[in-house]
Structure 1
Amino acid sequence: MDVEPLPASSGDRVSYPSRIRQWMEVCNSSHGDICVPKPISQQPQNDGPQWLIDTHDQCIVPGISANHYLALSYTWPETRNSSTPAPRSLLLDAASIVDLQIPGCFSSSAIVELLPGVIKHAMSVTAALGERYLWVDRLCIVQNDAGTLDQVTRMDKIYAGAYLTIIAAAPDAMYQSDQLAEWPRFDILFKHSNPSGLSEDQVIRAMDYRYQNLRASRWATRGWTFQEQILCKRAVVFTEKGIFWDCQCCMWDGADLKPGQDHETISVSTDMGKRFMTRWWPDFSFYVDLICPYNGREFSYPQDALLGFSGVLSALSRSFPGKFISGVPSIFLDHVLLWQPFETAERRVDRGNSSSTSGGVSSLPSWAWCGWQCFVDPMSLRSGLAYMNEDQMRNRARSWQTQNLIDWRASNNLIQSELMSDPPFFGEHVKLSGSPDTLPEEWQSHHELGTEAPSYSHATDRKLLFRHPIPLSLDASRQPELCTTSYLTFETTSAMFLPATILRPLKSQEMVSWGDVKVSVFEDRMFALGPRDNKVPPVIVLKQPNGMFAGLLRHMNNDRINPNLPVELVAISTGSANTLDLEFSLEWNVFADLELYYTYGNVCKIIPFASPPITGQQKRALLFDTSMAFGEEAAKDDSNSALVPELSAIENEINDQVKLEMERHEERLVKLNATQEYRTRYEQKIWFNVRRKVLRERKQGKSVGDGAPGGAVCQFYNVLWIQRKDGVAYRVACGWVPKYVWEAHSKGPVKVVLG
């Protein structure tokens, strides 16, 4: 969305502490019950911070000294010149903890030199707001201490318990000025004599414009800041263009959006803080909204990617039964293992204190999203939404289903593993929905007029409907179970297939965005408009030994693939979707049409794909439509398959039309003095265009399927392409193989240790 701001009014830099105080007072009086946390004295003993900065006495003090505190969310100053040594930094550790408790220590020149401007600015803002205590991670968590990890994993308590969070998202240089009273003011976007006269659309656009300023900052690209914004109840946000207030109920910017305007009921964002407070069931949609934009963020030390999300996981664990295993909720394990990169991914390799990596070693597992840096495609997780019987979730899940196939075992070593059986998977609860006598305690079934299947509700909220009972965690005192499991051990079937071709993206248009943490990923502009040009994942087409179609994989990156080497696949679950939904999936769109089409509002984006040169034998796998790919005949050998005559007819029809097209363009090719290589590429381009046309025409002549909405059900095995090293298998790509094809070629059981 492009909004053209009006010219700045006189005095574009204004005194801001008094304005922030006004915002804080209005928030306290109007919605303090929602936005203001309990005082430290009323919080559980271990929830508060261990240490705080006392801005009055200029030293650190024990956290219990304060009634409430402010928290800082910031990024460490950037060193652009790699030849310039990083600035010396001050942190709280065993060597400094005594000195930093001495009153006045933060006023000494020796200490001031070690404090970056952003921290000094936050200390000044805290005092100017009439507050005394400030929490800053590196000065309030004892580094390299036995309790460090515990403090880091409890970031949800730290930021949710802060009276106000200061989000410092402006460039480093803006914090160096001693003139605390000055800061740029946002330009007015919509001129009104009566500010309350803004329309709902104008209010939403103004809010979005402020979030765009935040998203454009370096702060919004960094990993640690994600949960700091998500977890805090309210924040004052410093950006390059201005300051705005962002709480659970309102946004104010001093320009278009001000206290007293009648827009507090406008829901421009899916506020994460409220969802943390109100979710009593394991809300998989909420989990998806969190991990998809987070995982594209950057870390100085890539191995911190899971730790940087631990506060969020701790907050989620209150409503998710079972454990979080390397960021994956155990009850949704089958669904989350199907995660796909929204953009090409880079393996997160451990980095030491120097700039060098640890020889390509990653302490994060390859099967978990946190083991790779990439935004996660929310559509790859939609089968996990199928348990909700609510319109929005039904529209997102569509007909996609995932069924458990594996008895999973988790471990941190290669010797012992623990069977993951508690809590039961969703499948166990589905079985309990057969009759009222078998329903879990406090669950009820509801039969609505005009619907075949009943809905189910829990006593906690009878208005919230599910498709079946689900495991719950209703014990408020339950402690989070966050596991950094390295290995998943299981028995399954495996198969080897050759790549028929790999379909790689061509250039479209450049879009740069880091996602919005305030809206659902299913509505986020960045996800709606597709991946950036140089970040589009390729799609691998698999073939059977006889050349017939065998499935599709989405590759993690642009690494080259040897088409002569078979890939080892292992089944991790079974799945299904109706024909219409499967044909709208990313992989099938690339396979069938060699393009992806994205729209958001009045903006559209088309990403074309192309194949490297392919032979006649490779082309056979590209002649399939969904009815052929998922039929039983696709798994038979040439002597028994009724598809062979149909494939021959399709191939002949395509070749005849390609020949005519080449003859029609011959004169042009001669004038261009086209080389044989150019002719070959040109002919292949025509071949793919004709193929698409022929397959579409043949599909129109076929029946839709079994008469069900969306056509026949396509059944498949969800598979991982793995590569083995020293007895451990590592994820390379994820995709699916049609049911009949897999069962005809797979062998097993085989034991897999997935690392």
Structure 2
Amino acid sequence: MAVARLSTADIVSSLQNALQKFTPPKHIPNFWIIDTQENCLVPGNSVDKYVALSYVWTSPLDTTSNQTPAQRLMLQRDKLDDFRKPGFLSSELGVAEKLPKVIRDSLWVDCLCIPQNDETTCDNVLSMRDIYSGAHFTIIAAAESSGLYGSGAGIDRVKNIDGLPGAGSLHGALMTTHWATRGWTFQEQMLSTRSLVFLNETAFWDCQGDVWWLYMELICRYNHRNLTYAQDALPAISGVFDALTYGFSGGFISGLPAIFLDSALLWQPFVKAKRRVCSEEKPESSPPLPSWSWAGWQCLIDPASLESGLDYEIRGETSRRTRKLVDWVGSTTVADECKILEPGILEHYKGLRDNPSNKDLPNGWSYKTEDTDSAEGVKPYTPTNRPNSWYSHDSDAQSIFRYPLPMTHVPSTVGSQGYKRFLSCTTSTATFNVRRVLYPHQRAQQLLSSGAMLRISVLDTQLYKNEPEFETYCPVITLEDEQGRWAGLLRVMNDNENIKAQQTVELIAISQGSSSFMEAAVAYEETVDRLACYQFRRDHCHFALTESFQQKIAYFGDSRSECYKSMEKEADERDQGPFFLKNINCYHFYDEEGLPKEWRHENYDFYNVLWVERRGDFMERKAAGRVPKAIWEQNQGALQSIKLG
């Protein structure tokens, strides 16, 4: 997706490029299309190319229109002959003045291309999938006042630290517009292969390459919601997932995209989660929700836990990477077992990041080594860390990637919305001891507001803007091996009162991962472990070894928690892990101040692990975390066949 603001000339150039390069849709729906040259309607099956429009009739800031629904210009069956006359929709006849300016500025538009109040209206509305997916692209008119461009207010809120709009912030800004409140608009965006989005004089392309951002935004805004019946967590969102399958090859497996399964399994709760248990009042509904899926837990999801899925982005700010370790098999019964092939396909293309090649790329992708403007005259986004080579998709010349993403034509193994209760694989397991459990203990008020850096747009919404109740922060488990060495961390998902120091936990490896030392050090678990403290926006939360939150507020003295001071005293005699430093205060954990600069260039390799508890013939997820690569490989046992439920 393009991240730079587009000028009017850029818009025209991009539209011309789009119309020249995009492959004509295979099926033109039997609808009416606006001929923008003749200013009239023509049959949909008479054109090779068309553009759709996603809009709201009026915006909260548009005070120029006081039309009632009855006064709006809409296609009626008995007026069809008039609409087909050349010039009928021109401004000279005055008819166009009955349309919102956003339509006059722009094309398939529902109010003019579907006969209204007609016996075919309902059937036509049900065919919206064909309309939006068949369009060359969709114009999303999300500006907060009349017309495509709107007022131009609020541009700064979508800029990143380099002064340019970032992919996540642009999506976040789109999600907060009046356009995003309309019932159909989300589906219209999902169904569109590519969209040109207008946000108050900021315009950007939104193509299938950004599906992971969209998935993160979706589940982070959904999973905290209350449901009358807990088991409806997946059915309640299945329609949106069906639409998303246009961008997620292989569909979804109990809410997790098959193509990104290894990254999706790393989701973590933002605050303590509550297990979704099937209601006995609705026994005929969906079967139990699996513990390995976010759908099995009611909680805000921590978007930072999903950042490794963005490693295809060159402009991305994350160094996190996830690598495939196991072959997954999905099942609900023995009879319906199926191999999940998509992670292996993605892993193949991830290999092109380190060993670039122009051979056997997915359809539409090309390998680039130019360091100048593209031959088409569209200037690519140029981050400071752009490598010497990259990949791009012909649907969007401005976006560049570390490796190509298979978007379509990948065989689906489980269908668009496949419920699977179990995930099985063969992997290594290991047992470790709980060294300590750090619980949220006391609010420590900071006199100056600073706040953590927000790298993911959903964090800048009301869902995440409010300071969480400190007692809802997730406890963190510090692990050690039989030799007493620091052995990694786990994030506890719920109020589990049965975790004790020195108890043994059974872990399974689900993938391998890496990041810079610096990025690992400022992650939630590592921060709590090395400082016994965490700050999201203003106040800090001190952690302690006892599960008793104090309502009394502590004011910053030297800003160090009592637990951290104890760890400092033990550090000379006990391994406190690779991220522990003496004489560090809580002020500096969130912005990398006070941490060794060389950590930005050192690599931290680890295994992504789940703490599991056996339930008969399957295991349930209790917590997720990371164990250093060397420690895991020195403690792992023989390979085992495991089944997660």
- Category of TM-score, reference length = shorter chain: 0.5 to 0.7
1:371 match: 296
Whether the aligned pair in 1 keeps the contact of 2:339 and 2:413 (CA below 8 Å) is: no
Name whichever of 196-205 and 558-567 sits farther off: 196-205
State the alpha-carbon separation in 1 of the partners of residues 620 and 182 from structure 2: 28
- 1:486 equivalent to 2:421? Answer yes
2:216 match: 288
State the alpha-carbon separation in 1 of the partners of residues 128 and 541 from structure 2: 40
1:64 match: 120
Q: For residues 157 and 38 of structure 1, do their structure 2 counterparts lie closer, same or farther at Cα, with a shift above 3 Å needed? A: farther
CA distances 1:611-670 after superposition (whole Å, capped 9, x unpaired): 229xxxxx9999599xxxxxxxxxxxxxxxxxx9x732899xxxxxxxxxxxxxxxxxxx
State the alpha-carbon separation in 1 of the partners of residues 595 and 440 from structure 2: 30
Shift of 1:226: 10
Whether the aligned pair in 2 keeps the contact of 1:503 and 1:539 (CA below 8 Å) is: yes
2:543 match: 609
1:309 match: 237
State the alpha-carbon separation in 2 of the partners of residues 435 and 160 from structure 1: 31
Q: For residues 649 and 388 of structure 1, do their structure 2 counterparts lie closer, same or farther at Cα, with a shift above 3 Å needed? A: closer
2:57 match: none
State the alpha-carbon separation in 1 of the partners of residues 396 and 492 from structure 2: 42
Pick from 485, 494, 504: which aligns with 1:548?
A: 485
State the alpha-carbon separation in 2 of the partners of residues 476 and 230 from structure 1: 26
- 1:592 equivalent to 2:514? Answer no
- 1:446 equivalent to 2:382? Answer no
Q: SS at the partner of 2:323?
A: strand
Whether the aligned pair in 2 keeps the contact of 1:156 and 1:314 (CA below 8 Å) is: no
Residues 148-159 of structure 1 mapped to structure 2, 5 A cutoff: none
1:472 match: 407
Shift of 1:409: 0.9
Residues 269-288 of structure 1 mapped to structure 2, 5 A cutoff: 278-281=206-209, 283-288=211-216
Q: For residues 568 and 587 of structure 1, do their structure 2 counterparts lie closer, same or farther at Cα, with a shift above 3 Å needed? A: same
Q: SS at the partner of 1:293?
A: helix
Q: For residues 31 and 527 of structure 1, do their structure 2 counterparts lie closer, same or farther at Cα, with a shift above 3 Å needed? A: farther
2:433 match: 498
State the alpha-carbon separation in 1 of the partners of residues 343 and 391 from structure 2: 19
Q: SS at the partner of 1:542?
A: strand
Q: SS at the partner of 1:428?
A: helix
Q: For residues 509 and 557 of structure 1, do their structure 2 counterparts lie closer, same or farther at Cα, with a shift above 3 Å needed? A: farther
TM-score (norm 2): 0.62
Whose RCO is larger (CA < 8 A, sep 6+)? 2
- 1:200 equivalent to 2:153? Answer yes
Q: SS at the partner of 1:747?
A: coil
Residues 379-418 of structure 1 mapped to structure 2, 5 A cutoff: 379-389=304-314, 391=315, 394-395=316-317, 398-414=318-334, 417-418=337-338
State the alpha-carbon separation in 1 of the partners of residues 462 and 508 from structure 2: 35
Computed over aligned residues only, the root mean square deviation of the Cα atoms, in angstroms, reads: 5.0
CA distances 1:714-746 after superposition (whole Å, capped 9, x unpaired): 111100010111111011110011111111111
State the alpha-carbon separation in 2 of the partners of residues 428 and 742 from structure 1: 25
- Structure 2 stretches lacking a partner, 5+ long: 1-64, 74-98, 135-148, 159-171, 190-195, 372-384, 446-455, 548-562
Q: For residues 370 and 18 of structure 1, do their structure 2 counterparts lie closer, same or farther at Cα, with a shift above 3 Å needed? A: same
State the alpha-carbon separation in 2 of the partners of residues 458 and 385 from structure 1: 16
Q: For residues 446 and 417 of structure 1, do their structure 2 counterparts lie closer, same or farther at Cα, with a shift above 3 Å needed? A: same
Residues 159-238 of structure 1 mapped to structure 2, 5 A cutoff: 200-201=153-154, 230-231=186-187
Residues 109-128 of structure 1 mapped to structure 2, 5 A cutoff: none
Shift of 1:331: 1.0
State the alpha-carbon separation in 2 of the partners of residues 421 and 19 from structure 1: 53
Higher gyration radius (CA): 1
2:519 match: 581
Q: For residues 620 and 729 of structure 1, do their structure 2 counterparts lie closer, same or farther at Cα, with a shift above 3 Å needed? A: farther
State the alpha-carbon separation in 1 of the partners of residues 472 and 625 from structure 2: 19
CA distances 1:296-340 after superposition (whole Å, capped 9, x unpaired): 111101111111111111111012211311111111000000000
State the alpha-carbon separation in 2 of the partners of residues 422 and 689 from structure 1: 41
Shift of 1:476: 14
State the alpha-carbon separation in 2 of the partners of residues 555 and 156 from structure 1: 41
Whether the aligned pair in 2 keeps the contact of 1:424 and 1:471 (CA below 8 Å) is: no
What letter corresponds to residue 324 of structure 2 in structure 1? N
% identical equivalent positions: 30
Shift of 1:536: 1.6
State the alpha-carbon separation in 1 of the partners of residues 151 and 363 from structure 2: 50
Residues 96-111 of structure 1 mapped to structure 2, 5 A cutoff: none
TM-score (norm 1): 0.54
Q: For residues 430 and 650 of structure 1, do their structure 2 counterparts lie closer, same or farther at Cα, with a shift above 3 Å needed? A: closer
1:721 match: 611
Pick from 358, 370, 376: which aligns with 1:436?
A: 358
Q: SS at the partner of 1:310?
A: helix
What letter corresponds to residue 365 of structure 2 in structure 1? W
Shift of 1:279: 2.9
Q: For residues 590 and 528 of structure 1, do their structure 2 counterparts lie closer, same or farther at Cα, with a shift above 3 Å needed? A: farther
Q: For residues 308 and 67 of structure 1, do their structure 2 counterparts lie closer, same or farther at Cα, with a shift above 3 Å needed? A: closer
Q: For residues 266 and 467 of structure 1, do their structure 2 counterparts lie closer, same or farther at Cα, with a shift above 3 Å needed? A: closer
State the alpha-carbon separation in 2 of the partners of residues 524 and 334 from structure 1: 27
State the alpha-carbon separation in 2 of the partners of residues 701 and 524 from structure 1: 29
Higher share of residues assigned helix: 1
State the alpha-carbon separation in 1 of the partners of residues 413 and 500 from structure 2: 50
Q: SS at the partner of 2:350?
A: helix
State the alpha-carbon separation in 2 of the partners of residues 63 and 611 from structure 1: 68
1:736 match: 626
- 1:26 equivalent to 2:82? Answer no
Q: For residues 490 and 40 of structure 1, do their structure 2 counterparts lie closer, same or farther at Cα, with a shift above 3 Å needed? A: farther
State the alpha-carbon separation in 2 of the partners of residues 624 and 543 from structure 1: 17
2:248 match: 320
What letter corresponds to residue 575 of structure 1 in structure 2? G
CA distances 1:402-440 after superposition (whole Å, capped 9, x unpaired): 110001111111465222124743221133553334544
CA distances 1:15-42 after superposition (whole Å, capped 9, x unpaired): x995566799416743674764785579
CA distances 1:441-462 after superposition (whole Å, capped 9, x unpaired): 5432222548544101123333
Name whichever of 551-560 and 528-537 sits farther off: 528-537
State the alpha-carbon separation in 2 of the partners of residues 343 and 743 from structure 1: 31
Q: For residues 370 and 31 of structure 1, do their structure 2 counterparts lie closer, same or farther at Cα, with a shift above 3 Å needed? A: farther
State the alpha-carbon separation in 2 of the partners of residues 583 and 287 from structure 1: 26
Q: For residues 548 and 288 of structure 1, do their structure 2 counterparts lie closer, same or farther at Cα, with a shift above 3 Å needed? A: same
State the alpha-carbon separation in 2 of the partners of residues 331 and 409 from structure 1: 13
What letter corresponds to residue 26 of structure 1 in structure 2? P
Q: How many residues align?
A: 477
Shift of 1:463: 2.5
Shift of 1:596: 1.7
Name whichever of 312-321 and 429-438 sits farther off: 429-438
